[in-house]
Structure 1
């Protein structure tokens, strides 16, 4: 027996309407345990799209930069100091300025400066603390303590720059590497940490240099301050002497031994 369907278009339209009016979850092919949920399908597509976007972002983070050389800077090199030494007056100074040696700095400083004579012991026995002579002695003693330390700091800084050249160059090469060898996110973070460690070391060395500069400025200010104080004291003494002693022509028979012009 042959079944002939009339109006097939109506059947198709009716089936489409049935699908459109179906609930979000319905069985396929009459089997109850196989369910198609359009809402879950749309959510899954959205999640897959998000995962794909995150994957592309991670992939871009891992990929290397090809134009890193645009960030490249040059490490300033410090040449070794070569102090002239015609007659032995600066023996050891070249070594002191280029190495981290406190003994070399102290020896070189003593050689290059005028020593305080042992005869000053008798001379200063009659001086009081605060006198111009005592102040000058204090300035010399401060300078003798500070200056060798500053020379050592300079030598240590130069020596450290030389020793750190390889490490700095290696870090710079890795940071500017254009391949995928050192361009993963973890590797780049490690390079940043290494750069911060080098920066901290440089700042500490710079701090030692700045401390020396401040110390030297203190000694220089002391010299200028003592000179100004001596001038003021001299002016006050002259005024006091002139008001006490008559310097007119009528008293020429008397010799004034302590007069200051």
Structure 2
């Protein structure tokens, strides 16, 4: 009996230590092998909540708009230019303005403008650069002959490229405003955005070429206006000087009318 009591105490001590180190749990319905663990249940609920949030986020990402057409705009059309050509004076100009043809632009510009002939060149040889009205006019003509064909080519390129890009622009527009699930996944929409940015970059580069052309033409036009203003001032000073040096008084008059400029 004494031996059994000691053995029984050892079993009780071992059982108490086991209970002290066990995780919080308890048996269900009085059955020892079915155990409910509150810590594991809380972890599982947290994981399910996270999965639900991720699912809702993915669901929102693939949800598409069904009324995209409310944002749709219209692409402005450009018609081909048809320049009148009664006597051949604008031969090749229509081609230059509608196609990408640098050589055609040069030919059309030369045909439509007045050349500087050989006798004029002989006359200009005796002029001094920087103080010659005629040489400044020649400089303006030479600048115009340089930039104007390039501008013709830029306009022709823009018109030709706009026609060629029409199909790509229309297709992209249709996909962007498609209300079905065929083009509304997140990856597809990002691809459409990238395509739109690429088309925007091409348009900006084309617009940059056109703006360069406008700046060049404005430079030539400003040069013409500046030379005209300088010529007016020089003419006024010359007339005033001539009046002062040559007496144009009427008979029996004692002074010269120096403020009159014809």
- Give CA deviations for 1:147-200 in whole Å, capped at 9, x if unaligned: 100000000000000110111111111111111111110110010000000000
Whether 1:41 aligns to 2:19 is: no
| Distance in 2 between residues matched to 1:250 and 1:24, nearest whole Å | 134
Aligned to 2:32: 30
Aligned length in residues: 229
User: What TM-score results when the alignment is normalised by the length of structure 1?
Assistant: 0.82
User: Which structure carries more relative contact order (alpha carbon 8 Å, separation 6+)?
Assistant: 1
Aligned to 2:200: 199
Aligned to 1:4: none
Structure 2 regions of 5+ residues with no counterpart?
1-21, 253-260
Whether 1:109 aligns to 2:109 is: yes
| Distance in 2 between residues matched to 1:35 and 1:154, nearest whole Å | 83
Whether 1:120 aligns to 2:120 is: yes
Spell out the pairing of 1:174-253 with structure 2 (5 A cutoff). Answer: 174-249=175-250
By how many angstroms is 1:239 displaced?
A: 2.0
Other structure's SS at 1:123 match = helix
Conserved 8 A contact 1:97-1:155 = yes
Other structure's SS at 2:184 match = coil
| Distance in 2 between residues matched to 1:169 and 1:243, nearest whole Å | 73
Conserved 8 A contact 2:26-2:37 = no
Whether 1:163 aligns to 2:158 is: no
User: What TM-score results when the alignment is normalised by the length of structure 2?
Assistant: 0.82
Aligned to 1:83: 83
Mean Cα deviation higher: 240-249 or 88-97? 240-249
By how many angstroms is 1:51 displaced?
A: 1.4
By how many angstroms is 1:24 displaced?
A: 7.0
By how many angstroms is 1:115 displaced?
A: 1.3
Other structure's SS at 1:114 match = coil
| Distance in 2 between residues matched to 1:74 and 1:37, nearest whole Å | 64
| Distance in 2 between residues matched to 1:87 and 1:210, nearest whole Å | 32
Conserved 8 A contact 1:99-1:158 = yes
Other structure's SS at 1:30 match = strand
Other structure's SS at 1:119 match = helix
By how many angstroms is 1:120 displaced?
A: 0.7
By how many angstroms is 1:27 displaced?
A: 4.1
Structure 1 regions of 5+ residues with no counterpart?
1-22, 252-259
Other structure's SS at 1:141 match = helix
Mean Cα deviation higher: 207-216 or 170-179? 170-179
| Distance in 2 between residues matched to 1:111 and 1:190, nearest whole Å | 48
| Distance in 1 between residues matched to 2:110 and 2:56, nearest whole Å | 68
CA-based RMSD of the aligned residues comes to 1.9
Aligned to 1:94: 94
By how many angstroms is 1:53 displaced?
A: 2.6
Conserved 8 A contact 2:25-2:38 = no
| Distance in 1 between residues matched to 2:45 and 2:32, nearest whole Å | 26
